[in-house]
Chains A and B, each alone.
Chain A
């Protein structure tokens, strides 16, 4: 018997090693083809591109090397960009690594930083940017072409003491996707105010449709509409003051959490079962027409479309109590950063500059579907989201998510927000306790 097992292993190993080079070769090559005209213009602006005709090592001043890159997006999605880069800079090899965001990514990054094993290129996000920057793990990339092309919001998100540490070319903007056919059938108008929104929920519920679908960790986002548009616009430094201790969660959030509870949870528009909705049901409830509204953004839209829903999809941002929407649910996406300890600064920066190129950033945008936050570049977003993307690009609306404002306490407070909001929805605690728990978690984290 033992012989047989050994034989089994041996064959398995041999099969494995013989065919090890078989997988993963040239896919989606044609997507990656740079548009010639733009590329030429680019070549004039960007000295690094001069080596294009003869990608010789001396001409570009770049050394042949391998850059390790811990990415936030799966390789399958990133591949077109990597292919284009390999064609342009054959001397620089990108060793692509991936950990699934957010929890696995943060865990991996923390273990890597705590032992000094930092990849040359990596992503920083709202959840870890403060400690990554403050502890000096990110190189100052203020001088790069890539950063200089960003619009102010995208640039400033990863700024500290006047220096820039992250290159975040895109921003996601979210709100509610709705079932257009159902809206027509029930004669529902797209809501512009909170009261109209509640009316929409009521009509959907009376029809036997679930008004809102959202995942168990994020369902609290439906309180943001009134908070952002009514309160935050007049007190933009609110979170900063909460962090300083001059204001509390109860001051700003309190009334809006209470309002959300009374208006959406009590009537059951936000159902108790949302706390355990899996990502699969999140999409399928909406795609099968069981739910009228789905709270989300471009990334979610792509997933819903994959399910081939038999209706047309519309979109509206989260409304405040007054008419106009000035702040939308959204955030500057995570940013690529260069390790301060890398031996290949120039090459790593060349990678960022490459992504900042007009044609390549379009590939980046194809990958996530978000809005490009770079001067003079139009985003090719899904038509459903075209309107809101335009408003954002023209600076008519700004974006907000809570955890982006909490600095180093981001993940801790976010864990608390998820747990407490779930308890609130299940009726285990009330709104005041919710706010107290947030506040005491903040004190606890600050105390450390």
Chain B
């Protein structure tokens, strides 16, 4: 009986692994072909590279300003995420803890932002940015990303609701100032939600094209994903080099993801789900 069960479990796992590989085939395809000459990619898309072929990567690195754009991507993503987390958590706290007409309104007011597709607002956002003189600067773009705090406010609200209020009340009785109270007691408790938020926002900002392509123009400000587009000409693209560039663009996110892997599920358990 036990043997039979074991046998099924092995079969199940093998099938599952095969299915997982099939599921990952688009990404496998991408990585595999980035190590092949274009002509081989066409003729045998699933064949292994005949030798260690790195030309695509050499060309990719020559075409893209890797280190600078990587630095830009890191800076823009990190700064925006930090802003989103801090501002979002701060705003969510009083909105959740004090239910009155103003906070009820604010709760809805912040939710609107998440429902609006920003792509259709670019001309409008651009005119506002122009008024406050923040075009073609990294800080301008960071503020635009950070204006998407609505999701953070929404998420933190759900989470704050689920933590008991007693500690805050006793701290208040002890005469703590609101800011102190928040940073010392509340914010640390929000950690799981913060982790989820960091992952969520990092992935979207790192991968964003629409906003960054409009708000950044100078080559010196471009992000990694924008470098990918610098290599696309009017008619075509050299696909094998493109695949190499795609792999390069993706790699930092892979590392980030592997580092944060445990936090993702743990964070979702406590953070997002209680929304």
Contact = CB atoms under 8 A, between A and B. Distances in A.
Interface in B180-214: 191, 195, 198, 213-214
A397 to B, nearest CB: 22
A306 B74 contact: no
A201 B6 CA distance: 62
Contacts of B236: 279-280, 282-283, 299-300, 303
Interface stretch (B58-66, B96-104, B158-166): B58-66
B126 A114 contact: yes
A287 B235 contact: no
B123 A75 contact: no
A92 to B, nearest CB: 16
A23 B233 contact: no
A288 B43 contact: yes
A24 B219 CA distance: 11
A101 B62 CA distance: 22
Contacts of B90: none
Contact of A8 (B65, B67, B123, B259): B259
Given A4-B259, A9-B78, A108 B213 contact: yes
A54 B71 CA distance: 38
A68 B234 contact: no
Contacts of B270: none
Interface string B208-242: 00000110011100000000011111111111000
B234 A110 contact: no
A20 B234 contact: no
Contacts of B78: 9, 13
B71 A13 contact: yes
Contact of A75 (B71, B126, B230, B237): B230
B135 interface: yes
Contacts of A279: 235-237
Nearest to A14: B71
Interface string A153-191: 000000000000000000000000000000000000000
B42 A307 contact: yes
Contacts of A73: 233-234
Interface string B30-70: 00000000110011000000000000000001111111101
B214 A107 contact: yes
Nearest to B252: A12
Interface in A186-232: none
Q: Which among A20, A283, A308 has the highest number of chain B CB atoms within 10 Å?
A: A20
Nearest to A13: B74
Interface magnitude class on chain A: 35 or more
Interface in A1-53: 1-2, 4-5, 8-9, 12-13, 15-17, 19-24, 27
Nearest to A333: B234
Contact of A5 (B63, B237, B260): B260
B67 A76 contact: no
Contacts of A95: 218-219
Contacts of A299: 233-236
A23 B63 CA distance: 9
B67 A1 contact: no
Contacts, number: 133
Contacts of A22: 67
B75 interface: yes
Contacts of B42: 284, 287-288, 307
Nearest to B235: A299
Nearest to A8: B259
Nearest to A6: B78
Contacts of A117: 130, 135-136
B71 A1 contact: no
Contacts of A24: 65
Interface string A376-388: 0000000000000
A96 interface: yes
A116 B230 contact: no
A115 B126 contact: yes
A21 B67 CA distance: 8
A108 B214 contact: yes
A99 interface: yes
A238 B230 CA distance: 38
A4 B259 CA distance: 9
A269 interface: no
Contacts of B38: 306-307
Nearest to B42: A284
Contacts of A114: 123, 126-127
A251 to B, nearest CB: 32
B122 interface: yes
B268 to A, nearest CB: 15
Contacts of A8: 255-256, 259
A115 B127 contact: yes
A93 B154 CA distance: 47
Nearest to A282: B236
A115 B214 contact: no
Given A5-B260, A13-B78, A23-B65, A74 B232 contact: yes
A323 B76 CA distance: 61
Nearest to A288: B42
A69 to B, nearest CB: 10
B162 to A, nearest CB: 21
B75 A13 contact: yes
A400 interface: no
B234 A16 contact: no
Given A1-B195, A77-B233, A107-B214, A96 B127 contact: no
Given A21-B68, A100-B234, 13 more contacts: A1-B263, A4-B259, A13-B78, A75-B219, A76-B231, A97-B218, A108-B214, A111-B123, A111-B126, A117-B136, A279-B237, A282-B236, A306-B238
Interface of B: 38-39, 42-43, 61-68, 70-72, 74-75, 78, 122-123, 126-127, 130, 135-136, 191, 195, 198, 213-214, 217-219, 229-239, 252, 255-256, 259-260, 262-263
Interface of A: 1-2, 4-5, 8-9, 12-13, 15-17, 19-24, 27, 68, 70, 72-77, 95-102, 104, 107-108, 110-111, 114-117, 119, 279-280, 282-284, 287-288, 296, 299-300, 303, 306-308
5 contacts: A5-B198, A23-B65, A23-B68, A101-B234, A108-B213
The 3 A-B residue pairs with the shortest CB-CB distance, nearest first, are A16-B71, A19-B67, A23-B65
